[in-house]
Amino acid sequence: MTAHMRAAVLREFGRPLAIEELPVPVPGHGQVLIRVVASGVCHTDLHAVNGDWPVKPTPPFIPGHEGAGVVAALGPGVTNLAEGDRVGVPWLHRACGHCEFCISGRETLCLAQLNTGYSVNGAFAEYVLADAGYVGRIPDALDFADAAPVLCAGVTTYKGIKETEVRPGQWLVVSGVGGLGHLAIQYARYMGVHVVAVDVEDKHLALARDLGAELTVNARTEPDAAGAVQRALGGGAHGVLVTAVARSAFHQAIGMLRRGGTCALVGLPPGGFDLPIFDVVLKRLTVRGSIVGTRLDLHEALAIASEGKIRVAYERQPLSAINEVFERMKAGTLIGRVVLDLQKPAPAPRLPDASGRAAGVPAGV
């Protein structure tokens, strides 16, 4: 008899996901089957189900690229993993392994890559297939639900900070204190960097201060947010990391840089933004995209989180709540992340308090 699993399936762009019973997939050569315990929800998942980006996934498909769980079965040829290993399924499902990008440690730029929950089925399911060479090992000290958001949001912000080239003691602006931004603040503080947090919601800025941001700017109530940062830091920030999904934040971020500074972009709103050519040239500014992180970046991001240095603000929800989660994401009412609980009933939400320890908060906050 064929085993079945629950999965959230997108059958038509812009339509709600359907919770369906599907056959549990069988791992092929070099693959592992993972029993998903917790699966994070990312803004990219929302873009995927809406078909927002130029290169679209092909329905029907299962979204989700932050799946954390245990290896349930090995496909032929897998020697680096064993059943029961704790692993995570990241955005980069597989790369070719032999192009100039792969052999130089930049596999996230590989033109032949496949992406979890986009070009292959993802982790909004009780089981998911993964390439044994691209999963992240989850340290024993890290809970599955804590690990899930690190598989994308955590490694994306950690890598993005690296791309700004800020050094310990310098200033970084984190633009957007949402699911990515609140993690960026913590990784930056771990790296010895001073943080300015910019957002349009006071409740997000309050969380930023609790997590270690030394300065905050409300870009909605401050008519010249870039000028405010320039004045506060005596010439601007050494780096800016844009996690926001508002196009206005991208142009604004350039104005927050000091001479010689670097702006790294990880947010992905549709469309483009204007660059002030004069400022970029005369101030020797760098504007750089940053896409998730390599396998080494993922290893480092998970290791830092396992030390208790990174506390993800999230709430748990059952798989059946995924459409409501997407609606709240679109409305901008989420604080931090949502983690789908695939194997047991959902407990109370969990958010870090000012000390970084977990604290219960009312559902929906």
Question: Do 13 and 145 share a domain, yes or no?
Answer: yes
**Model pLDDT, residue 350:** 47
Phi/psi for 149 (5° steps) reads -65, -25
> Residues 246-285: pLDDT tens digits?
889 999 999 999 999 999 999 888 788 889 999 999 999 9
Identify the CATH number of the domain in which residue 272 sits.
3.40.50.720
CA atoms within 13 A on the CB side of 228: 16
Residue 303's identity, in one-letter code, is A
Is there a single domain that holds both residue 177 and residue 256? yes
Q: What is the pLDDT of residue 336?
A: 82
Q: Which of 250, 274, 289 is the last residue of a domain?
A: 289
Q: What does the angle CA 304 – CA 318 – CA 246 come to, to the nearest 5 degrees?
A: 60
Domain boundary among 289, 312, 345: 289
Other C-beta atoms closer than 10 Å to the C-beta of 55 total 7
Do 184 and 174 form a contact (C-beta atoms < 8 A)? yes
Integer Cα distance of 317 and 338 in angstroms: 7
Q: Among residues of the chain, what percentage have pLDDT more than 90?
A: 85
Number of separate domains in the chain: 2
Give the mean model confidence (pLDDT) for residues 221-234: 97
CATH number at 75 reads: 3.90.180.10
Instruction: State yes or no: pLDDT of 40 exceeds 90.
Output: yes
Establish if 85 belongs to a structural domain: yes
Is 247 in the same domain as 163?
A: yes
Residues 6+ apart with CB under 8 A from 202: 218
Task: Take residue 99 and report the two structure tokens written for it.
Answer: 């192009």
The verdict on 211 and 340 lying in the same domain is no
Pairing of strands 171-175, 18-23: unpaired
Examine residue 364 and state whether it is found in any structural domain, yes or no.
no
Do 53 and 85 lie in a common domain? yes
d(CA 1, CA 3): 6
Give the pLDDT of residue 73. 97
Would you tell me how many other CB atoms lie within 10 Å of the CB of residue 169? 9
Domain contains 365? no
Range of the domain at 341: 4-152+294-359
Round to whole Å and give the CA distance between 82 and 71: 7
Residue 130 in any domain: the answer is yes
> In angstroms, rounded to a whole number, what is the distance separating the alpha carbons of residues 357 and 308?
9
CA distance 95 to 110: 6
| pTM confidence score | 0.91
Q: Residue 280 carries which side chain, given as an amino acid letter?
A: V
- Let me know whether 200 and 340 are in one domain: no
The answer as to whether 52 is a domain residue is yes
Same domain, 190 and 325: no
- On whether both 79 and 106 belong to a single domain, the answer is yes
What is the tens place of the pLDDT at every residue in 152-209?
999 999 999 999 999 999 999 999 999 999 999 999 999 999 999 999 999 999 999 9
Same domain flag for 307 and 170: no
User: Domain for residue 17, yes or no?
Assistant: yes
Question: How confident is the model at residue 357, as a pLDDT?
Answer: 34
Q: Are 68 and 95 in the same domain?
A: yes
Interatomic CA distance for residues 349 and 175, integer angstroms:
25
Give the chain's length: 365
Classify residue 51: in a domain, yes or no: yes
Residues 199 and 125 in one domain: no
Q: Based on the domain organization, do 163 and 138 belong to the same domain?
A: no
101-146 pLDDT, tens digit per residue, is: 999 999 999 999 999 999 999 999 999 999 999 999 999 999 999 9
Q: Is residue 165 part of a domain?
A: yes
Indicate the burial class of 345 (C-beta count within 10 angstroms; 0-12, 13-18, 19 or more): exposed
Question: Which DSSP state fits 10?
Answer: B
Rounded Cα distance between 31 and 14, Å, is 31
Are the beta carbons of 14 and 50 closer than 8 angstroms?
yes
Of the three residues 241, 267, 289, the one that is the final residue of a domain is: 289
